[in-house]
């Protein structure tokens, strides 16, 4: 069979070689993940859409898992950036921290498949004795904590506070995606903002 006609090469001068298959595969992978809710990337289907034989991908990824890992890495990157923008837009301080948390949830809900993928496989990163690893998302979190609770310079308390906040938004994301909690902006805001009306002295803040 001759070359598939619907080959959409990036640089389509030649025919046999693709140009930059690795990049193309990652790009298409992200697109497919964005379109569907369940992370069901098929190696063969992917290759078909790339106008390339299935096994060609093995020249660029050791296995399907390796490909997914690469996509997952792109996932945390996007998440981190999204949070960063949200934090900046909110100006700083406590509102910025709240915005960071909401951004986490909103990104997750808006990118279900990529979110699932990203956290299904353990994010590579020598997490240097420090939980959370070296990704931007976690860095945003730490910054937010420091901003809201400057009295906690470092140490366990700050770490625990960070893990607490992370767990909260992470769990909320998962539960919404699992259909357990309504995907409602007000709900998200309320849950992220804390026990909400329960604490008498902090004024309904994150805490």
Partner DNA sequence: GCATCATGTTAGCACTGTAAACATTACGAG
Partner DNA sequence: CTCGTAATGTTTACAGTGCTAACATGATGC
Quick check: 113 binds a second copy (CB under 8 A)? Answer: no
Among 7-15, 17-25, 79-87, 122-130, which window interacts with a second copy (CB under 8 A)?
Answer: 122-130
Candidate segments 12-20, 28-36, 92-100, 123-131, binder of a second copy by CB under 8 A: 123-131
Distance in Å from the first CA to the final CA of the chain: 64
- Cα–Cα dist 101/137, whole Å: 10
Q: Give, as ranges, the residues between 61 and 100 that touch DNA (CB under 7 A).
A: 63-65
Number of shown-chain residues binding DNA (CB under 7 A): 26
Pick 11 or 156: Cβ nearer DNA: 11
Q: How far is the CB of 115 from DNA (least distance, A)?
A: 20
Site for a second copy contains 180 (CB under 8 A): yes
Q: Where are the alpha helices (DSSP H) in the chain?
A: 21-35, 43-50, 64-89, 93-110, 112-120, 136-148, 155-177, 185-192
| Distance set, CA 178 to CA 72, 77, 104, 200 (Å) | 20, 23, 16, 32
Q: State the minimum distance, in angstroms, from the CB of residue 87 to a second copy.
A: 19
167 near DNA, judged by CB under 7 A: no
Cα angle 112, 124, 71; round to 5: 40
> Helix, strand or coil for residue 26?
helix
Residue 37: Cβ-neighbour burial (10 angstroms; 0-12, 13-18, 19+): exposed
Residue from the set 12, 34, 36, 59 that interacts with DNA by CB under 7 A: 59
Residue choice 75, 149, 153, 185 for contact with a second copy (CB under 8 A): 149
- Tell which positions 42-61 bind a second copy, by CB under 8 A: none
Among residue numbers 14 through 43, which ones bind DNA (CB under 7 A)? 14-19, 21, 41-43
Considering only CA atoms, which of 74, 44, 75 is closest in space to residue 58?
44
Residue 66 touches a second copy, criterion: CB under 8 A: no
Binding site for DNA (CB under 7 A): 1, 3, 14-19, 21, 41-45, 47, 52-56, 58-60, 63-65
């Amino acid at each position: 069979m001759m070359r598939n006609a619907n080959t959409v090469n990036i640089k389509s001068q030649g025919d046999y070689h693709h140009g930059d298959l690795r990049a193309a595969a990652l790009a298409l992978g992200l697109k497919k993940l964005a379109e569907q809710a369940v992370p069901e990337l098929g190696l063969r289907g992917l290759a078909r859409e790339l106008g390339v034989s299935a096994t060609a991908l093995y020249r660029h990824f050791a296995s399907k898992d390796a490909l997914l890992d690469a996509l997952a890495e792109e996932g945390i990157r996007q998440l981190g950036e999204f949070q960063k923008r949200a934090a900046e837009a909110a100006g700083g301080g406590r509102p910025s921290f709240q915005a960071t948390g909401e951004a986490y949830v909103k990104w997750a809900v808006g990118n279900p498949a990529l979110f699932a993928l990203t956290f299904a496989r353990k994010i590579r990163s020598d997490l240097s004795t420090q939980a959370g690893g070296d990704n931007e998302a976690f860095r945003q979190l730490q910054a937010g904590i420091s901003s809201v609770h400057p009295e906690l310079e470092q140490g366990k308390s700050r770490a625990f506070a960070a893990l607490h906040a992370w767990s909260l938004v992470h769990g909320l994301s998962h539960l919404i995606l699992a259909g357990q909690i309504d995907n409602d902006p007000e709900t998200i805001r309320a849950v992220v903002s804390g026990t909400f009306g329960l604490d008498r002295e902090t004024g309904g803040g994150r805490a």
